[in-house]
Amino acid sequence: MSDIQSILSIAKRTLEIESKAISNLIELLDDQFAHAVQFILESQGRVVVSGVGKSAIVASKIVATLNSTGTPAIFMHAADAIHGDLGTIQENDVVICLSKSGNTPEIKALLPLIKIGKNKLIGITGNMDSVLAKQADFVLNTFVEKEACPNNLAPTTSTSAQMAMGDALAICLLELKGFSSADFAKYHPGGALGKKLYLRVADIVVNNEKPQVDINTSVKEVIVEISSKMLGVTAVMENNEVVGIVTDGDIRRMLSKYDNISGLTAKDIMTSNPKSVDVETLAINALKLLQEKSISQLLAFDGDTYAGVVHIHNLINEGIL
């Protein structure tokens, strides 16, 4: 077997083992999971997620997912908790502890302290006979037959199962809360993802020039307007209303059609009924319209008032495309 074949074989085996383990979680779900979700949903506090080793890293990811989907959460390392960080847990908080074995020393030391505080405890473990499983108020079974590691040592399959269970919790809470794309945008204001959810046409056109010419403007002045505003287009106005549009494509077509352009005006080369968009439209929806129509610019309107131009390059620069 060649090196390439060997590498691909190992990768496929790893993914197959992990995918089967995650699929098996479906059969392990029971009323305990549903009750845990309901309790978190009704809780007045946060979700404190804890673990050690690789489970601590998964716990941090679960916290990030919960926070981004509308469930306040915070990470607490189990080892740090028994050395001063136990104050992280407040009166109404729900605590989730992750441990494959459910018997790690740090978790075993933490459990009675959680009980003293009378906080509800959700255990995510692959060992239903463990101390964690027996002391938790709700137990989520993440049993895996073996790790993807050929020595069955490195946490691989088990951490994948933990992460998948955390995702299942988060998505259940998201849907039961009616968490919408608008809510999602509040928690993701940065980057391309956030911009797709909240950036409006108005946020773009305000930074652009506002090209416009009168219907009787000479072609020479039309070209100057298009060039100076650098958007490849200008609106054509009559009595303060948009009656057409002239694009750089219209200019090229005019030059190929006419030998003498000295007597031509905007009216002679404009396109009537230009494609337009309202300023309150999401930028991502403006992009879809541009793509559907195979055009590069849209005129933007605030009600009946011409507000400016949104260009596909604006959307590229914003990371929308």
CB 288 within 8 A of CB 298: no
The model's pLDDT over 124-179, given as tens digits with 9 standing for 90+, comes to 999 999 999 999 999 999 999 999 999 999 999 999 999 999 999 999 999 999 98
SS3 state of residue 82: coil
The model's pLDDT over 287-308, given as tens digits with 9 standing for 90+, comes to 999 999 999 999 999 999 999 9
> Residue 84 has what pLDDT?
85
The H-or-E segment that residue 309 falls in is strand 305-311
Distance, first Cα to last Cα, the chain: 42
| Number of CB atoms found within 10 A of residue 132's CB | 26
> What's at 242, amino acid-wise?
V
Instruction: Report residue 78's pLDDT band, with 50, 70 and 90 as the boundaries.
Output: very high
Instruction: Report residue 259's pLDDT band, with 50, 70 and 90 as the boundaries.
Output: confident
Q: Angle between the 248-257 and 219-229 helix axes, to the nearest 10 degrees?
A: 150
Percent share of the chain, pLDDT over 70: 95
Strand partners, 96: 49, 122
Instruction: Report residue 187's pLDDT band, with 50, 70 and 90 as the boundaries.
Output: low
> Residue 189 has what pLDDT?
61
| Number of CB atoms found within 10 A of residue 1's CB | 8
CB 154 within 8 A of CB 34: no
Percent share of the chain, pLDDT over 90: 82
73-87, 125-139, 239-253, range with greatest mean pLDDT: 125-139
Q: Check whether 96 has a pLDDT greater than 60.
A: yes
CB 255 within 8 A of CB 269: no
- How high does pLDDT run on average in the chain? 92
d(CA 90, CA 105): 23
Short-list 52, 290, 157, 191, CA closest to 300 = 290
Short-list 238, 171, 192, CA closest to 33 = 171
